[in-house]
Amino acid sequence: MSDRILGAACVAVATAMAWAASGYTAPYSYEPLGPSAFPLLLAVCMGLGGLWLLWRPTQGREAYAQVPWRGTLLCLGAVLVYAALFQALGFILATTLMSFPVGMAFGGNWKQSLATGLGLGIGLHFLFDKLLDVTMPGGVLSPLL
């Protein structure tokens, strides 16, 4: 039942995020998609995840890993550190460092968590910075990008 409540909360927050982000405008056009692209993409992903939690089958739920409160607090701390270090470290490193403890909290080993975090950092940087032309901070890796 708590999964369904979390799913409903995710859908509600995603709807509010999408509504708030739809009004984001820049005083001058510096990116083809504008400042609302990233928040809208996050809202869509969060909403789809919430809908999946709401309507996934009840049978076989024991197979899904349950994140204990310790893992939840670890994820919250990782996201707060991510926000604090995002500009200084840059998107790739900050995303890798944030994804590592989140992967560990969801039952991954350190190799899987590190590989996934690095893949997310590089893959999403390529998607946003190169394909969608949304400027992402390079941080300490700026000379290499």
Q: What is the pTM (predicted TM-score) of this model?
A: 0.58
Name the helix (H) or strand (E) containing 34.
none
* pLDDT > 90: percent of the chain: 10
Give me the pLDDT at residue 30, please. 62
What would the two tokens of residue 106 be? 């969801």
Give me the pLDDT at residue 20, please. 83
Give the count of alpha carbons within 13 A of 3, CB side only.
15
pLDDT of residue 85 exceeding 70, the answer is yes
Q: What is the mean pLDDT of the chain?
A: 79
Between 3 and 77, residue with greater pLDDT? 77
Mean pLDDT of 45-65: 69
Distance of alpha carbon 145 from the chain centroid: 22
Give me the pLDDT at residue 131, please. 83
Looking up tokens 């950092």 gives 121
Q: Which of 3-12, 36-45, 53-62, 83-92 has the lowest mean pLDDT?
A: 53-62
Give me the pLDDT at residue 89, please. 92
- Give CA–CA dist 135/124, Å, rounded: 12
Distance of alpha carbon 99 from the chain centroid: 9
Give me the pLDDT at residue 116, please. 92
Between 123 and 63, residue with greater pLDDT? 123
pLDDT digits (tens, 9 = 90+) for 87-128: 889 989 999 998 888 888 777 888 999 999 999 999 989 888
Task: Answer for the pair 93, 138: CB distance below 8 angstroms, yes or no.
Answer: no
Give the count of alpha carbons within 13 A of 109, CB side only.
1
